[in-house]
């Protein structure tokens, strides 16, 4: 058998390797939490390891019920402390007349988070009020020790109107809550994410109609499409800080928003849900847990290099 000759790597290669390792270490050191690089392809997670969001703080708007409540509780189960924001007694939504989350809803979700052994603060704030949102974000950072994640989830829907028959007041309410309210949320929280540093993340909740428009909801469609642009701009601007921003676009889900559509349009609930299913490739009701799974993945280390993504959770509706 021929002898194997071992050669010493060239100086150029060794220098390159040192530089690569230095850059990798610098990035890891900037990332909050463990400085150990995790091999995400290494198989099942060690059950003795801490929860994947241990030590993290999440700020969730529209957190009292529906999808926001689901996101908050799942994050808490996986180790995060939570700041809940919802309207409660801070105001009301007219044009359309909309049954919003109550103080009791917010209190219940806060108690459920606390029961999971996590810290939780709650705020009754109208997302149309930037000053109060900024105060809530600052108070969260002060009381919970910072801010890692933002889920901009608060939103409303409306009855069906042809665009030229849509009341001006309804248009304005929709844009103020579903678009400007998300901008205000980002403006209020992003400075705290930058202070926290690399590894922080935002998820903006758009809608399947933000990708594939439907008739008679022009104001809702316009707001949800605009969120995609807002999210992409944020991803571009925050990349230099190692902060990510992504969008989730859910299909029709059976929540309090579905109840609002039933009431505003005077149609049976099952008829509305059947319409959702008929528009999908997979003829199955979507659940809030489906959207929550996507949101948490986007916040997790498994998605550490995923930013600017528009993730549909719609049973294939956008492809039909």
Tell me which H or E stretch contains 202: strand 201-205
> Read out DSSP for 234-258?
HHHHHGGGT-EEEEEEE--BSSHHH
Dihedral sign from CA coordinates of 55, 61, 65, 68:
negative
Burial class of 117 by CB neighbour count within 10 A (0 to 12, 13 to 18, 19+): exposed
CA atoms of 160 and 170, how far apart (whole Å): 11
Pair 252, 273: CB distance under 8 Å: yes
CA atoms of 227 and 244, how far apart (whole Å): 15
Is residue 241 annotated as a catalytic residue, yes or no?
no
Catalytic residue of the set 98, 130, 184, 220: 220
Q: Which residues pair with 139 in a beta bridge?
A: none
Q: Which residues pair with 81 in a beta bridge?
A: 57
CA atoms of 123 and 106, how far apart (whole Å): 8
Pair 67, 255: CB distance under 8 Å: yes
Catalytic residues: 220
């Amino acid at each position: 058998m021929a002898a194997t000759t071992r050669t010493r790597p060239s100086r150029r290669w060794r220098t390159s390797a040192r530089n690569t390792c230095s850059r990798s270490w610098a990035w890891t050191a900037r990332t909050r939490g463990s400085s150990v690089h995790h091999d995400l392809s290494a198989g099942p997670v060690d059950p003795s390891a801490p929860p994947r969001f241990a030590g993290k703080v999440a700020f969730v708007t529209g957190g009292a019920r529906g999808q926001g409540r689901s996101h908050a509780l799942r994050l808490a189960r996986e180790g995060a402390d939570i700041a809940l924001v919802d309207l409660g007694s801070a105001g009301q939504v007219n044009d359309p007349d909309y049954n919003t989350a109550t103080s009791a809803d917010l209190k219940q979700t806060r108690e459920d988070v606390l029961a999971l052994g996590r810290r939780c603060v709650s705020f009754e704030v109208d997302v149309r009020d930037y000053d109060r949102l900024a105060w809530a974000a600052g108070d969260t950072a002060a009381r919970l020790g910072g801010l890692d994640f933002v889920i901009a989830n608060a939103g409303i829907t409306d009855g069906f109107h042809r665009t030229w028959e849509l009341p001006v007041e309804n248009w304005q309410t929709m844009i103020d809550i579903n678009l400007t309210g998300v901008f205000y949320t980002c403006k209020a929280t992003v400075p705290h994410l930058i202070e926290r540093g690399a590894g922080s993340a935002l998820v903006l909740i758009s809608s399947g109609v933000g990708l594939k428009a439907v008739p008679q909801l022009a104001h809702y469609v316009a707001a949800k499409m605009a969120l995609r642009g807002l999210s992409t701009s944020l991803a571009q601007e925050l990349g230099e800080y190692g902060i990510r921003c992504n969008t989730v676009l859910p299909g029709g889900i059976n929540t309090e928003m579905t109840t609002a559509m039933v009431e505003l349009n005077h149609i049976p609930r099952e008829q509305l849900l059947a319409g959702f299913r008929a528009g999908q490739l997979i003829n199955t009701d979507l659940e809030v847990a489906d959207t929550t799974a996507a949101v948490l993945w986007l916040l997790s280390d498994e998605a550490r290099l995923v930013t600017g993504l528009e993730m549909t959770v719609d049973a294939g509706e956008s492809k039909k």
